[in-house]
């Protein structure tokens, strides 16, 4: 608390080891800290979204200026009777804007960016009497690398307007070249313009600009936002770097990771692609009872027909994890949905796996620790774990989200302050900390929204649209990082029996529960807090609110009657506050939405 008072970012206290007043105080303090950190993160996210909007707004301002100037040039050439040049200029301008306006996903290839930049320079040379030599020397190995759109053009525009055209002779050369360096692609844009001072270089890649020149300010913001777009997408190791010598020129280095045409990390629009059956399926849904399985499930025999190059034996249900390893190495994320109708033998894998129970219940034995799971429960398992599955109900539908370790490392910098157990789990460096974490997520509304979005993307055939997927995964892991409801162990058989009874009979008093379970109230609270990661009160509160929601559909029942039925007596303020916490609206507002 002293650290918070001194404006230090709030830090979490160690999880309480006892269920008493001090433990409740620590829980409340940690809840407050996570709430503050979430608000800070949301503010930072809003600032980034505003920055991107500012970039898009600026681009919308720059392009019309370029369009007006180019149209003036075309008009002048037409008046001079230069028919061939006029036709060429109109053709180039049409192609330039076709490349600019048709980029729905903001991802393209280096080859397309070169074409865009070349057309831009050709049109500018028509305006300035071929005063600039534009030299492109890019090796073929870089042409199919994926890159965000409109990266080259603002840099080249700055080289032209604020470099070469500020020379007395108004002539010069811009060179576009590149090479592969370790696991990165490096693109260099060089000019022999007037160069920049060290003072200007120091502010160029920041959001501060000391220049009073409005056009220079626009160029500065365009460069800064280009740099930030690359960093937001790829991480702090990538982006722009500048070197300049006054009077001699400037070199701009663009560093991006090596992602090829078919990489799911930077995948173009796929919704309009034909379904020829030649492409590997990005998501596999396997069911032991697939003839009556969930909608949209792909049975093993259908999968075999879709990808006939796979040996039939790897598509048997008991070997469904092998399917993942048979897809292209460039793929980073898969979803596997399957029914657990029979025991699955112990196995391990070299990726991070999220097991989410969509319906039913099962025993997920992880590193010889039985974890009893029901609908809405989630375990995050790292690559060091071994686990097996055993059904507890007839139809248990398990959703596996499989993520390669390299992709996790890419996402981690974008999540905000992971709590140490989750961070250690995802990195896999501290085996003594355990290889899994259990999260009860059924009534975590934010997580459910992210999970639903993930499923919707798959169902609509857009599962490889990575920028959208990345945002969802960052949000999912941020939600896991911020929740205080998790367990390093997970429910054992006794805890599972307790939590199921709490969910089924939430209107019971603690005395009723003690009698039915044969366990003291203190022991019930201790087991649920330690193994399930939640408090007994929160589970009962959610169950009572679900019961209240059902009663609200009957308009003949008063709110006071419903509150008493749910155990609140005359405490209407508490009833309304708890209902809002679960459903996001008051009981009156909720009833008003019912048809």
212 and 287 share one domain: no
* Average pLDDT of the segment spanning 485-496: 94
165 and 292 share one domain: no
Using CA atoms, how far residue 75 sits from 86, 119, 281, in Å, is: 8, 18, 52
Residue 103: what pLDDT?
A: 46
Question: Which structural domain range is residue 381 located in?
Answer: 279-487
165 and 313 share one domain: no
Residue 548: what pLDDT?
A: 92
Residue 362: what pLDDT?
A: 95
The number of C-alpha atoms within 13 Å of 475 and in the hemisphere containing its C-beta is 19
301 and 164 share one domain: no
176 and 50 share one domain: yes
The string of pLDDT tens digits covering residues 375-387 is: 999 999 998 899 9
Joined tokens for residue 445: 């509304």
**Residue 283, domain CATH:** 2.60.120.10
Q: Is 94 or 375 the better-scoring residue by pLDDT?
A: 375
Q: Is 485 or 226 the better-scoring residue by pLDDT?
A: 485
Residue 234 has pLDDT above 90, yes or no: no
Residue 261: what pLDDT?
A: 42
SS3 284: strand
202 and 245 share one domain: yes
Residue whose structure tokens are 């157990």: 421
Ranges 145-159, 198-212, 313-327, most confident: 145-159
Q: How many domains does the structure of the chain reveal? A: 2
Residue 487: what pLDDT?
A: 93
287 and 413 share one domain: yes
Residue 219: what pLDDT?
A: 56
User: What's the burial of 287, exposed, middle or buried (CB within 10 Å: 0-12/13-18/19+)?
Assistant: buried
Which of 192, 226, 257 represents a domain boundary (last residue)?
257
| 192 within some domain | yes
Residue 462: what pLDDT?
A: 59
Q: Is 509 or 291 the better-scoring residue by pLDDT?
A: 509
174 and 226 share one domain: yes
Q: Percentage of residues in the chain with pLDDT exceeding 70? A: 73
459 — pLDDT class (breaks 50, 70, 90): low
Residues 135 and 176 sit within 8 Å (Cβ to Cβ): yes
The string of pLDDT tens digits covering residues 129-151 is: 888 999 999 988 888 888 888 88
The string of pLDDT tens digits covering residues 260-304 is: 443 333 333 333 333 333 232 333 333 333 333 333 333 333 433
Residue 321: what pLDDT?
A: 47
* Average pLDDT of the segment spanning 526-533: 94
Which of 466, 487, 508 represents a domain boundary (last residue)?
487
Which of 452, 487, 522 represents a domain boundary (last residue)?
487
* Average pLDDT of the segment spanning 469-489: 86
248 and 288 share one domain: no
Give one DSSP letter per residue of 350-410, joined into a string.
SEEEEEEEEESEEEEEETTEEEEEETTEEEEE-TT--EEEEESSS--EEEEEEEEHHHHHH
289 and 252 share one domain: no
312 — pLDDT class (breaks 50, 70, 90): very low
**Residue 62, domain CATH:** 3.30.565.10
331 and 214 share one domain: no
Average pLDDT, the chain: 77
| 535 within some domain | no
pTM: 0.50
| 98 within some domain | yes
86 and 209 share one domain: yes
Say how far residue 85 (Cα) sits from the centre of its chain.
Answer: 47
* Average pLDDT of the segment spanning 168-174: 93
Residue 446 has pLDDT above 80, yes or no: yes
The string of pLDDT tens digits covering residues 64-91 is: 556 766 787 788 778 778 888 888 888 8
The string of pLDDT tens digits covering residues 31-70 is: 787 777 777 766 766 665 665 555 555 445 445 556 766 7
């Amino acid at each position: 608390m002293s650290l918070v008072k001194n404006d230090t970012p709030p830090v979490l206290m160690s999880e309480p080891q006892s269920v008493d007043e001090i433990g409740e105080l620590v829980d409340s303090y940690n809840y407050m800290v996570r709430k503050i950190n979430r608000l800070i993160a949301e503010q930072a996210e809003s600032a980034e979204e505003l920055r991107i909007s500012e970039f898009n707004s600026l681009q919308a301002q720059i392009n019309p200026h370029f369009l007006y100037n180019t149209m003036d040039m075309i008009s002048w050439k037409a008046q001079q009777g230069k028919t061939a040049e006029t036709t060429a200029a109109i053709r180039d301008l049409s192609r330039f804007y076709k490349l600019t306006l048709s980029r729905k996903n903001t991802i393209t290839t280096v080859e397309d960016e070169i074409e865009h930049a070349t057309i831009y320079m050709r049109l500018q040379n028509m305006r300035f009497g071929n005063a600039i030599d534009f030299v492109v020397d890019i090796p073929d190995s870089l042409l199919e690398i994926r890159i965000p759109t409109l990266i080259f053009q603002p840099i080249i525009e700055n080289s032209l307007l604020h470099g070469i055209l500020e020379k007395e002779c108004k002539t010069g050369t811009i060179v576009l070249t590149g090479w592969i360096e370790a696991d990165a692609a490096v693109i260099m844009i060089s000019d022999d313009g007037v160069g920049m001072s060290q003072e200007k270089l120091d502010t160029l890649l920041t959001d501060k600009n000391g220049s009073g020149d409005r056009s220079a300010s626009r160029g500065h913001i365009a460069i800064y936002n280009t740099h930030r777009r690359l960093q937001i997408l790829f991480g702090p190791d990538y982006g722009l770097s500048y070197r300049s010598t006054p009077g001699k020129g400037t070199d701009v280095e663009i560093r991006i990771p090596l992602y090829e045409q078919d990489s799911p990390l930077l995948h173009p629009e796929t919704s309009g692609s034909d379904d020829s059956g030649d492409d590997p399926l990005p998501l596999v849904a396997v069911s032991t009872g697939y003839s009556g399985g969930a909608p949209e499930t792909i049975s093993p025999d259908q999968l075999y027909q879709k990808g006939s190059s796979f040996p039939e034996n790897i598509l048997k249900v008991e070997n469904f994890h092998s399917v993942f390893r048979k897809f292209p190495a460039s793929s980073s994320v898969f979803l596997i949905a399957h029914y657990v109708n029979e025991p699955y033998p112990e196995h391990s894998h070299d990726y991070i796996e999220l097991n989410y129970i969509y319906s039913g219940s099962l025993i997920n034995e992880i590193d010889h620790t039985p974890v009893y799971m029901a609908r809405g429960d989630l375990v995050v398992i790292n690559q060091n774990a071994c686990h097996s599955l055993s059904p507890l109900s007839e139809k248990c539908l398990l959703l596996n989200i499989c993520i390669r370790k390299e992709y996790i490392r890419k996402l981690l910098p974008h999540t905000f302050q992971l709590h140490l157990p989750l961070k250690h789990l995802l990195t896999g460096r501290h085996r003594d900390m355990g290889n899994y974490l259990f999260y009860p997520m059924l009534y975590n509304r934010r997580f459910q929204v992210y999970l639903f979005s993930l499923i919707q993307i798959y169902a609509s055939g857009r599962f490889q649209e990575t920028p959208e997927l990345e945002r969802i995964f960052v949000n999912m892991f941020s939600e896991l990082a911020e929740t205080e409801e998790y367990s390093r162990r997970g429910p054992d058989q006794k805890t599972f029996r307790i939590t199921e009874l709490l969910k089924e009979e939430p209107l019971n008093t603690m005395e009723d529960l003690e009698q039915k379970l044969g366990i003291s109230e203190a022991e019930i609270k201790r087991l649920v807090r330690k193994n399930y990661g939640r408090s007994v009160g929160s589970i009962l509160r959610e169950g009572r609110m679900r019961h209240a929601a059902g009663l609200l559909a009957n308009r003949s029942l008063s709110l006071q009657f419903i509150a008493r039925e749910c155990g609140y007596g005359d405490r209407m303020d508490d009833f309304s506050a708890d209902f809002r916490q679960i459903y996001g609206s008051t009981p009156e507002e909720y009833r008003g939405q019912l048809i």
